[in-house]
Structure 1
Amino acid sequence: MTNSAESIWNNCLKIIKDIVDWQPYKTWFEPIKAVEIKGNVLMIQVPSQFFFEYLEEHYVNLLAKTLKRELGKDARLEYRIMVDSGNNGRNGSMDVPAGNMKMYNNNEMDFPLIINSPVKNPFVIPGLKKMQIDPQLNHAYVFDAFIEGDCNRVARRAGKTVAEKPGANSFNPLVIYGGVGLGKTHLAQAIGNDVKRLHPNKVVLYVSSEKFINQFQDHSRNNAINDFIHFYQLIDVLIIDDVQFFARAEKSQDAFFAIFNHLHQSGKQLILTSDKPPKDLDGLQERLLSRFRWGLSADLQIPDYETRIEILERKMKNDGLDMPKEVVKYVAYNINTNVRELEGALISLLAQSSLNKREIDLELAKKVLRNFVKTSSKEITIDAIQKMVCEYFDVPYDKLLQKTRKREIVQARQITMYLAKAFTKNSLKTIGEHFGGRDHTTVIHSCQTVKDLMDTDSLFRENVMELTQKVQLAAM
């Protein structure tokens, strides 16, 4: 009987494969196994109850038509559902008995449909309705408070697109990755808050991967994994923070894989954050990683100097604070690791000012930020000046050393030589050697050119003065 069932089901699959796209076919039909045939009733085995329900919701007409072609107009389909038995590590199966099903009439054929008990909410909100699901969002995390710069422009703009059209865009899933303190959680929750503002009827949920894993383990101990999966299937926009922690939770990955497939196939939006790009995530199932790559992976980088200043100024404005411009520049230049440390340095500075009842000035800033800045007085190097100038003019370092007549490169090199002569103790010969082996006469000519242009070109002079201030701050 098994061979006959397999033969019939394989014939059905040949038809289905020509109708359904490759990815849905691989996801929803390849895992199905034919069990037995009894008269005009074919029994198939599916991996889980949610899998059965998805077939009933999305492919019932297709299944009806293909099976009717094989077994005639009275053909019927029944399911054997694999059941997770909890902590004992074994799986069983459950045939759908006639006494526990109602008949679903689709004018093609009757299909068995399990009557489910009410879905339990892992976030324990009594009397669950979709709109009663707490999104778990921090209302302070909004786009207006997330400063845009070269370091995050792609991720922020993709996030705005997702918020405007959740699930109906090319960025599904949207994977936001980057180091500690760069704003991954802020941006992910800003998307969620914007969705709630623009689409009040959408169900949004933010949850850390650790909470997801803990919830799954609790439901597993209570033999309620289906309730857990069913709850997450209610979500329209699911935000999972720090997915790298799934690496130590194999069974949680299985549950998330099922949830991911259901939501993605249903046109719902997924937003994920991680400390690494998907290709570098170790310990995650390849089938999950392949799905992470379906949408867009956007990185958050360390903010540049100008962006750091803007972050500080926005923070000060929101908190009603005021600091001298030179102090803001000092903090922005010396705290160049991440946004979290930048804000921490500002808080420390303000706290010391309040406790000591003194105004904030550069001297206080240098004193307070010793825990953040490695040294308050350091010798500036030619390499450091080259890096500053390259960053300021957005010029690749290697271009600075090459022989080229491009005006922007030549001027950047001349300014760098001028600053190196002014702020280092190196000889003209040594300075020239740091620029591709140029001689001391080139350095002299460059310094004179900079002085002449500062007298005749106001914009050029402004650029040099700003860079001079950067070097001075760095040397403090």
Structure 2
Amino acid sequence: MSVTAQTVWNNCLEFIKDNIQPQAYKTWFEPIQAVKLTDNALSIQVPSKFFYEWLEEHYVKILKVSLTKELGEKAKLVYIIKMENTYGNKQPFTEKIPSANRSAMKSQEVDVPLNNKSPELRNPFVIPGIRNVKIESQLNPNYSFENFLEGDSNRLARSAGLAVASKPGGTSFNPLLIFGGVGLGKTHLAHAIGVDIKDKYPEKTVLYISAEKFTQQYIDSVKKNNRNDFIHFYQIIDVLIIDDVQFLSGKTGTQDVFFHIFNHLHQNGKQVILTSDKAPVDMQDIEQRLLSRFKWGLSAELQTPDFETRVSILKNKLYRDGVDMPDDIIEYVAKNIKSNVRELEGAIISLIAQSSFNKKEITIDLARVIVEKFVKNTKREVSIDYIQKVVSDYFQMDIDTLQSKTRKRHIVQARQLAMFFAKKFTKASLASIGSQIGKRDHATVLHACKTVDNLSSTDKQFKKYVEDITKKLSV
């Protein structure tokens, strides 16, 4: 039987799978495709430059061992990096680029560490005396990677954050945009990256600032006629973290000045980290040239944590606070508060407070009272799961039917309504909505929203559907 690239890679994967954690295997090895086998060199395609860097950084030894077993001591591994969504001064990837073109392909022998990266460019702009001014980072040391627990909902964003903290300005994640709904940990993760960078690189200037404060500083600089000083100050920052960047929407002057600051930092190998409550594709009133720069690096979504992650978050919080609580009570709280981490931690703090102030033992009954009050007093963020249930019940079908591939008109319309309401009532990205409603892509969701808008204005019966479901979701 002839040996093919696929058989060699499959054998390597069998070995790797037995020697690393299942989730790590799923995240870092399942997306890889075997491309070709030439003599003792196996070519594999990875989704991005970051994948290549991460494999070289964390899995080079196991790759070498597995490949040597298959192809002998002279085995080589060639990475083909698919450079999609690449802008600026980097060459775009095209299908027919010659293999010698290094923008399309990077090769690396498995036994050679990654050491051919471009050295960090130094900032050529120095204002006399300004380097002597100590810039406070404005970071909160309580926000760390240690207490940002990993789960399926945040794995990509957390991994990307760790990579950036290890090599600020030296990965493909520049900028790193972390986005997601309220209370899911965007600010926590942004601070954690900054804190870790300060620990590893104390000489680097790190600054955390909210987009709102950045805007106010810019307005003040215009009033005082020192706009250039404002720009120069931000150009000397090594790692700039801007929280809630969606706040720049509609603020043309601030966007313009941030555009120039961003370009300078990016061109000089500095790191930019942004957080937002929505993905770039969903941002309104942000200039296209700025949105294109947001897409240069990685946009990583924080989603609502699953049950297991919620339990872990609560146990970690209780451990840090030195509080002992029975597992059944922890699981009860985790099961009933699903919307975000902030509400989850708030409920457990309320439970501890009620117990200590009123000298009551923490029981399921007490937990039930606290959770009911907490959920009632907290503005409920409608989940995509809840929307699908309401729409399915309204049309008297089950959720599996709603999510199915069928093209029957009434089922397609129900699915489109679910997507429409998910966009209206949640802060989830179009891609996230699509993946949760029948594993569709963002273009399908966009089409669904336009269809619902059109039918609402032309079809009386359909308009009634929209009104009825809106009432049910607004209760």
Q: CA deviation at 1:355?
A: 1.4
Q: Confirm or deny that 1:129 pairs with 2:136.
A: no
Secondary structure of the residue that 1:138 maps to in structure 2?
coil
- CA distance in 1: counterparts of 2:193 and 2:137, whole angstroms: 12
- CA distance in 2: counterparts of 1:305 and 1:374, whole angstroms: 20
CA deviation map 1:102-146 (0-9, x unaligned): xxxxxxxxxxxx996755xxxxxxxx626x110000000000000
Secondary structure of the residue that 1:231 maps to in structure 2?
helix
TM superposition score normalised by structure 1:
0.54
Q: Confirm or deny that 1:23 pairs with 2:88.
A: yes
Q: CA deviation at 1:398?
A: 3.7
Q: Which residue of 2 aligns with 1:141?
A: 143
Q: Which residue of 1 aligns with 2:366?
A: 364
User: CA 1:115–1:194 in 2, change beyond 3 Å: closer, same or farther?
Assistant: closer
Q: CA deviation at 1:248?
A: 3.2
Secondary structure of the residue that 1:144 maps to in structure 2?
coil
Q: Confirm or deny that 1:158 pairs with 2:160.
A: yes
Q: CA deviation at 1:372?
A: 2.6
Map 1:307-386 to 2 at 5 A: 307-373=309-375
Q: Confirm or deny that 1:246 pairs with 2:248.
A: yes
User: What are structure 2's unaligned runs of at least 5 residues?
Assistant: 1-85, 91-122, 378-384, 390-397, 405-475
Map 1:24-39 to 2 at 5 A: 24=89
Q: 1:222 pairs with 218, 221, 224, which one?
A: 224
- CA distance in 1: counterparts of 2:87 and 2:238, whole angstroms: 24
One-letter identity of the residue aligned with 1:364:
L
- CA distance in 2: counterparts of 1:401 and 1:191, whole angstroms: 37
- What count of residue pairs does the alignment treat as equivalent? 273
Q: CA deviation at 1:24?
A: 5.0
User: CA 1:153–1:397 in 2, change beyond 3 Å: closer, same or farther?
Assistant: farther
One-letter identity of the residue aligned with 1:214:
Q
User: CA 1:269–1:372 in 2, change beyond 3 Å: closer, same or farther?
Assistant: same
Q: Percent identity?
A: 58
Q: 1:172 pairs with 168, 171, 174, which one?
A: 174
User: CA 1:115–1:306 in 2, change beyond 3 Å: closer, same or farther?
Assistant: closer
Q: CA deviation at 1:250?
A: 1.1
- CA distance in 2: counterparts of 1:369 and 1:157, whole angstroms: 32
- CA distance in 2: counterparts of 1:175 and 1:24, whole angstroms: 20
Q: Which residue of 1 aligns with 2:281?
A: 279
One-letter identity of the residue aligned with 1:260:
F
CA deviation map 1:6-58 (0-9, x unaligned): xxxxxxxxxxxxxxx99359xxxxxxxxxxxxxxxxxxxxxxxxxxxxxxx87
CA deviation map 1:365-406 (0-9, x unaligned): 11122223459xxxxxxx99x99xxxxxxxx9749999xxxx
Q: Looking at CA atoms only, which structure, 1 or 2, has the larger radius of gyration? A: 1
Secondary structure of the residue that 1:176 maps to in structure 2?
strand
- CA distance in 1: counterparts of 2:127 and 2:163, whole angstroms: 36
Secondary structure of the residue that 1:146 maps to in structure 2?
coil
Q: Which residue of 1 aligns with 2:449?
A: none
Q: Which residue of 1 aligns with 2:16?
A: none
One-letter identity of the residue aligned with 2:371:
L
- CA distance in 1: counterparts of 2:403 and 2:270, whole angstroms: 51
Q: Which residue of 2 aligns with 1:201?
A: 203
- CA distance in 2: counterparts of 1:229 and 1:311, whole angstroms: 40
One-letter identity of the residue aligned with 1:370:
E
User: CA 1:144–1:399 in 2, change beyond 3 Å: closer, same or farther?
Assistant: farther
- CA distance in 2: counterparts of 1:188 and 1:399, whole angstroms: 40
- CA distance in 1: counterparts of 2:198 and 2:143, whole angstroms: 13
Secondary structure of the residue that 1:372 maps to in structure 2?
helix
User: What are structure 1's unaligned runs of at least 5 residues?
Assistant: 1-20, 26-56, 59-113, 120-127, 376-382, 388-395, 403-476
Secondary structure of the residue that 1:302 maps to in structure 2?
coil
- CA distance in 2: counterparts of 1:118 and 1:141, whole angstroms: 32
Map 1:71-82 to 2 at 5 A: none
- CA distance in 1: counterparts of 2:241 and 2:305, whole angstroms: 24
One-letter identity of the residue aligned with 1:359:
E
One-letter identity of the residue aligned with 2:241:
I
Q: CA deviation at 1:263?
A: 0.1
One-letter identity of the residue aligned with 1:239:
I
Task: Please provide the CA RMSD for this pair.
Answer: 3.0
Secondary structure of the residue that 1:259 maps to in structure 2?
helix
Q: 1:264 pairs with 266, 276, 294, which one?
A: 266
Does structure 1 retain, via aligned residues, the 8 Å contact 2:87–2:296?
A: no
User: CA 1:232–1:116 in 2, change beyond 3 Å: closer, same or farther?
Assistant: closer
Secondary structure of the residue that 2:366 maps to in structure 1?
helix
Q: CA deviation at 1:356?
A: 1.1
- CA distance in 2: counterparts of 1:264 and 1:362, whole angstroms: 53
Q: Which residue of 2 aligns with 1:446?
A: none
- CA distance in 1: counterparts of 2:171 and 2:401, whole angstroms: 39
Secondary structure of the residue that 2:146 maps to in structure 1?
helix
CA deviation map 1:417-449 (0-9, x unaligned): xxxxxxxxxxxxxxxxxxxxxxxxxxxxxxxxx
User: CA 1:374–1:23 in 2, change beyond 3 Å: closer, same or farther?
Assistant: closer
Secondary structure of the residue that 1:143 maps to in structure 2?
coil
One-letter identity of the residue aligned with 2:357:
L
Q: Which residue of 2 aligns with 1:445?
A: none
Map 1:295-314 to 2 at 5 A: 295-314=297-316
